[in-house]
A and B are shown apart, each in its own frame.
Chain A
């Protein structure tokens, strides 16, 4: 039982990490219908900034806030200066720009901070004794912090989308940008805010994830996380916040259980299992578990 609980906790923690980044992907998709392939590297870049600030003796919580602000600004600027001009012409071009940003941001981080592994301090207590025991399994406070951040973020996002004017505008733009514009919504501003929000969520994911990541902070840290987060977003439905969380948690737990109990599969095919999920979902439900199906009047 202890072993099962340890694997469950590990899976839920990894799943929360995937869900955080998946949420960022969903926010952009809801606004623009685009999967932001640069999301992981944007998070990596802001995490490097947060790490660098901590090396300048700035407290980790302030470094995190700075990373969130930077993530928001970078997300909004990317939408305004790179995405919007090309999206008018061709949706495919947006994907190409995102892929360009993927390599560009990674290279820029390497250029500025080098490729050696960095140790990003955790904002939560993360010593060997900082845990609570559940049935003999250890739930560490930093993992609990990621779970808590996910719950709080979900709550705030729900409030934003359902109880605020800007959230209403974001939903209107996601549903039908032309109609939203005709109704007086400043679409361009809403889109920039959506990308900014996504950048900030990604930044939060990055700084919370890195202290828990096996490879710590390096140029490849977000790579496998982004793959799993994409799978999570797709699994849940690319336009569903709840779907992103369910998708992330399911993939995280599935990976932990596969690796733990079916080592012949999980040993070498852990990431592949996530990719198989993508393909399987595409066959059965092209819109994911919670994704909305667009209806067109004819």
Chain B
């Protein structure tokens, strides 16, 4: 019995340690100021093999993925990659990037950062990929140093870690997901309009760096406004958080959580009988069918910011880009073109294709270096981005998405409804 008990505690403690993996590095988010030349911030001078970084890419351009294609995230990751492969297939059919065909190489890391690091070593050294992508903050933490040392561009990581927006320290890395500071800045802009006389705010915070990043972003954004944070609770147990926050009787509830918290918090506030005047959900809680619909009336009227067109939404049923996307994605192997992850994969591929084309048109031709320099000067609206939302990078600003469109969840209609025009705060970040 004693030996078994010791084993139980050892396994339990190991499990806790493993669960804790996936947290990521810190840093302060934000854009830089001023313009500049991409060659000033990205060059091959410090590369382990400068010649490889400037070597022209011919025949095939390989994009290597390390991501969880097994385990709980497999469906989401699979859809992102299918979306990308479908978009690349369309480009290849049209002749590729000046004749260079695009290929995706995928390695499973099972959401284990250590495996991601090993995968990237293989992708760079054995598979000779020209661009890397990944899914998850822990993964990005594990691989960023290696890909920067090797000067292999890591483009549009599915993460939002402030540290990797530091162009000086990570010149070969960019992130796709919006900065929490930017998103919360837009949230506060919309709240200021809705509550000109001020309001009280309660925050439910996931105890991870992602959640804390959203909470910090909101706290920073409300400074100097008449929005007052009156309560903050960890989201460890949504029911307990809801009970405690309800006692604050705040006007606004902000979910500073991750995807898995959205439905849980909606259900929890419904069950404790709390209906704040406004509930703000994070932009990563984009899927209506799984994250809002099951909560029924408890989720009615909840607000979210979006940057992608939702092919399920009647608002876009006549949108030419959406129609073309659905047709082409479906015809090129994407099993779930209506899934938001598939749309993300397609949009990321679109952004990559834009970079590849501009790199190929540059004086140096298509190389890892020219791709990275193109990525540092991108100013592009993928067709699946909502009109008015662009992905903007400058040699001194690496925030990407600086505008969102607000939506509210309509429980009766089981859909998101536009709640205003696109809010663009790019002027707050000098270009």
Chain A residues within CB distance 8 Å of chain B: 3, 6-7, 10, 14, 33-35, 37, 95, 107, 110, 114-117, 119, 127-128, 131, 138, 140, 214-216, 218-220, 227, 230-231, 234, 238, 255-256, 259-260, 263, 266-268, 270-272, 275, 278-279, 282, 286-287, 291, 294
Query: Are B5 and A215 in touch, CB under 8 angstroms?
Result: no
Contacts A3-B243, A214-B268 known; list 13 others, CB within 8 Å.
Answer: A7-B243, A33-B1, A114-B75, A119-B294, A214-B239, A220-B72, A255-B237, A256-B237, A260-B240, A263-B233, A263-B234, A266-B240, A286-B2
B72/A6 in contact, CB under 8 A? no
Whether A270 contacts B9 by the Cβ 8 Å rule is: no
Picked from A7, A259, A275, A291, the residue with its CB within 8 Å of the CB of B13 is A275
With A10-B243, A263-B233, A270-B236 known to touch, is A115 a contact of B294 (CB < 8 Å)?
no
CB nearest neighbor in A for B6: A282
Contact B243 A278 (CB under 8 A): no
- The reply to whether A268 and B207 contact each other, CB–CB distance below 8 Å, is yes
A275 to chain B, nearest CB (A): 5
- With contact pairs A95-B7, A107-B70, A214-B264 given, residues A128 and B297 touching in the complex (Cβ less than 8 Å): yes
CA–CA, A219 and B76, complex, Å: 13
User: Is B73 located at the chain interface by the 8 A CB criterion?
Assistant: yes
- Residues of B in contact (CB 8 Å), total 49
Q: A6-B272, A7-B243 are in contact. Are A35 and B8 (CB under 8 A)?
A: yes
Closest Cβ of chain A to B306, distance in Å, is: 20
Chain A residues with CB under 8 Å of B73's CB are: 115
6 A-B Cβ contacts within 8 A?
Answer: A117-B260, A119-B294, A214-B260, A216-B263, A220-B72, A267-B207
Assuming A116-B290, A138-B273, A216-B263, is B239 touching A267 (CB within 8 A)?
no
Q: B71 contacts A219, CB within 8 Å?
A: yes
Are the CB atoms of B240 and A227 closer together than 8 Å?
no
In angstroms, Cα B244 to Cα A278, docked, is 28
Q: Compute how far the CA of A297 lies from the CA of B332 in the bound complex, rounded to whole angstroms.
A: 73
Instruction: Please tell me if the beta carbons of A110 and B72 are within 8 angstroms of each other in the complex.
Output: yes
Q: Which of B2, B261, B271 has the most CB of A within 10 A?
A: B271
Given that A214-B238, A270-B237 are known contacts, is A37 also in contact with B74, CB under 8 Å in the complex?
A: no
Find chain A residues with CB under 8 A from B207 CB. Answer: 267-268
Contact (Cβ within 8 A) B240 A7: yes
Is there contact, CB below 8 Å, between B71 and A266?
Answer: no
Q: Give the docked Cα–Cα distance between A231 and B8 (Å).
A: 9
Any A CB within 8 A of the CB of B362: no
B236 partner residues in chain A, CB cutoff 8 A? 259, 266-268, 270
Instruction: Note all chain B residues with C-beta closer than 8 A to A287.
Output: 1
Chain A contacts for B16, CB-based, 8 A: 227, 271-272, 275
- A227-B15, A259-B240 in contact; A117/B234 too (CB < 8 A)? no
- Tell me whether B234 and A259 are in contact (CB under 8 A): yes
Mask: chain B, 1-44; 1 = CB below 8 Å from A; 0 = not: 11011111101110110010000000000000000000000000
Chain B residues with CB under 8 Å of chain A are: 1-2, 4-9, 11-13, 15-16, 19, 70-76, 205, 207, 233-234, 236-241, 243-244, 247, 260-261, 263-264, 267-268, 270-273, 290, 294, 296-298
In the complex, A119 Cα to B174 Cα: how many Å? 35
B12 touches A275 (CB 8 A): yes
Smallest CB–CB gap between B340 and chain A, Å?
11
Chain A residue with Cβ nearest B68: A115
Which residues in A have their C-beta under 8 angstroms from that of B6?
Answer: 282
- Tell me, in angstroms, the Cα distance from A268 to B247 when the chains sit together: 21
Measured between beta carbons, the chain A residues less than 8 angstroms from B297 are: 128
Chain A hits for B239, CB < 8 A: 6, 10, 214, 256
Query: Is B76 a contact of A128 with CB atoms below 8 Å?
Result: no
Whether B237 and A110, one on each chain, are in contact in the complex, defined by CB atoms closer than 8 angstroms, is no
Smallest distance from the beta carbon of B80 to chain A beta carbons, Å? 13
Contact A110-B1, Cβ < 8 Å, known A214-B238, A275-B13: no
Q: How far is the CA of A220 from the CA of B264 in the complex (A)?
A: 14
Q: Which residues of A contact B13 (CB under 8 A)?
A: 275
- In the bound complex, CA of A3 to CA of B8 (Å): 34
Instruction: Name A143's closest neighbour in chain B (CB-CB).
Output: B271
Whether B2 pairs with A266 at a CB distance below 8 angstroms is no
Residue of chain A at shortest CB distance from B238? A214
Contacts of B75 in A (CB 8 A): 114-116
B270: which A residues are within 8 A, CB to CB?
128
Give bound CA distance, A230 to B8, whole Å: 8
- Chain A residues whose CB sits within 8 angstroms of the CB of B261 once the complex forms: 214
B271 cross-chain contacts in A, Cβ below 8 A: 128, 131, 138, 140
A37 and B7 alpha carbons, distance in the complex (Å): 11
* B5 neighbours in A (Cβ, 8 Å): 234, 238, 278, 282, 286
CA distance A294 to B73 in the complex (A): 45
Please tell me if the beta carbons of B272 and A215 are within 8 angstroms of each other in the complex.
no
Cα distance A96–B267 in the bound complex, in angstroms: 38
In Å, the complex CA distance between A114 and B271 comes to 29
Contacts of A268 in B (CB 8 A): 207, 234, 236
Knowing A35-B8, A138-B271, A275-B13, the reply to whether A267 touches B234 (Cβ < 8 A) is: yes
